[in-house]
Structure 1
């Protein structure tokens, strides 16, 4: 765990609370070492910054990993709609592909 980077990101969040990237970056620091903290941060992004597209892919995967099927499904679908609305073809393709794998995994 890079405690120095985590400390710095927390300072950035305090200084720029409306910048979703800082919270996302912190969530990515926690992604492997503390998935529950990462998920809490990603959920706050989905609520407070629903237009921040990168949050959807990672949040859906953590929800999938923890077998929160219904919430993961909703996050995938919301992310796909957002990517379509934003015209982000790369993110759209990644979300659709992951969502398809998620659906196969659930069956």
Structure 2
């Protein structure tokens, strides 16, 4: 009986066919992160940040990943850049989410307990 390739295996096959597609790179990073494998996810987020700096969705998830890994300085840098990119692209909802994530990293999220 033939086994069906996993979603990650399919995405990696798409990546081998077209490594320049930012959506595929983003999907692989997200898949690894969702599977609790942040060290496998990070190189794909890095690739997006370096090679596809206009791909707005990257910044939130890459910043959150760095914050979760304890690198607040790197998270702040990524989120600030993402905020700039989102505003320039007119993606105000994304900018709002990035601002909230940045506030969290900076300890400025005043939630009532």
Q: Is 2:69 the counterpart of 1:66?
A: yes
Tell me which protein shows more helix as a share of its residues.
Answer: 1
Residues 36-68 of structure 1: CA deviation (Å, up to 9, x unaligned)? 111121011101111111110000001001111
Q: Is 2:17 the counterpart of 1:19?
A: no
Larger Rg: 2
TM-score (normalised: structure 1):
0.90
In 2, the alpha carbon distance for the partners of 1:40 and 1:55 equals 12
Q: Which segment drifts farther, 45-54 or 32-41?
A: 32-41
Query: What do you get for the CA RMSD once the two structures are aligned?
Result: 1.3
* Alignment match, 1:36: 39
Unaligned runs of 5+ in 2: 109-113
Unaligned runs of 5+ in 1: none
In 2, the alpha carbon distance for the partners of 1:68 and 1:97 equals 17
> What secondary structure is seen at the aligned counterpart in 2 of 1:44?
helix
Q: Is 2:7 the counterpart of 1:5?
A: yes
Q: Is 2:100 the counterpart of 1:97?
A: yes
> What secondary structure is seen at the aligned counterpart in 1 of 2:80?
helix
TM-score (normalised: structure 2):
0.86
Q: Which stretches of structure 1, 4 residues or more, deviate above 3 A after TM superposition?
A: none
In 1, the alpha carbon distance for the partners of 2:15 and 2:56 equals 18
How many corresponding residue pairs?
103
